[in-house]
Amino acid sequence: MSGIWIFGYGSLIWRPAMAFRTSRVARLAGWTRRFWQGSHDHRGLPHAPGRVVTLVAAPQASCDGLAYLVDRDVVETVFRNLDHREKNGYERHAVRLTFRDGGVVDAIVYIAAVGNHAWLGPAGDEEMVRQICQAAGPSGANIDYLNDLAAALRDLEIKDPHVFRLESMARAFMARQEGGDGHTIRQASSKL
């Protein structure tokens, strides 16, 4: 095929915003999805970053997502747009994917490496949930990112205990906030 595969494991799953020929569910071995990357430009602000996913090396793990086949005649434009979208600490990496329905292919994935300028790293689940529920930026509330990712994974029948645990905890956190003052943190943060 005359094209390049690009692997999406976060917002690219539900909002690819690029021209592609086809998409397929694929698995990347040796990596796991974690809400350890700061978002100062999309789902948070420089003084109050949100949390978004990156991939963290984990030899016994794997990460499922969507692989997009991009035609060579538009790949330069696609990469220019993705480089801008993923500018807050992400870099391109060449990887090998296995498709859910069989087959192996080389692909490009954007990973925010440990120690990049926006790296937040691991934290307790409650701390991450609080930050996600309170952060908002130019692309919207951070909680919407979490909920959209969880919904997209479910639609694709992809299991991710980390994402689903944070989603469940965030739902409980938001319910407590709504009960306390009559409006949600999400509504308040969307006015930032």
Lowest-confidence range among 48-57, 72-81, 120-129, 179-188?
A: 179-188
Q: Are strands 3-8 and 104-112 parallel, antiparallel or unpaired?
A: parallel
CA angle 44, 50, 53 (to 5 degrees): 125
Average pLDDT on 133-153 reads 97
With a pLDDT cut of 70, the percent of the chain lying above it is 93
Q: Is the dihedral of CA 121, 44, 14, 82 positive or negative?
A: negative
Q: Which pLDDT belongs to residue 179? A: 72
Average pLDDT on 19-30 reads 98
Residue 29, pLDDT above cutoff 50: yes
Lowest-confidence range among 10-14, 52-56, 157-161, 178-182?
A: 178-182
Q: Which pLDDT belongs to residue 52? A: 98
How far apart CA 177 and CA 115 sit, in angstroms, is: 33
Q: Which two tokens stand for residue 173?
A: 């956190």
Q: pLDDT tens digit string along 162-177? A: 999 999 999 999 998 8
Q: Which pLDDT belongs to residue 177? A: 85
Which residues are CB-neighbours of 185 under 8 A, at least 6 positions away? 133, 134, 143, 173, 174, 177
Residue-averaged pLDDT of the chain = 92
Q: Which amino acid is at 17?
A: A
Instruction: Read off the pLDDT band of 1 (50, 70, 90).
Output: low
Would you call 157 a catalytic residue per the annotation? no
Instruction: Using alpha carbons, list the distances in angstroms from residue 2 to 21, 74, 97, 111.
Output: 11, 11, 17, 24
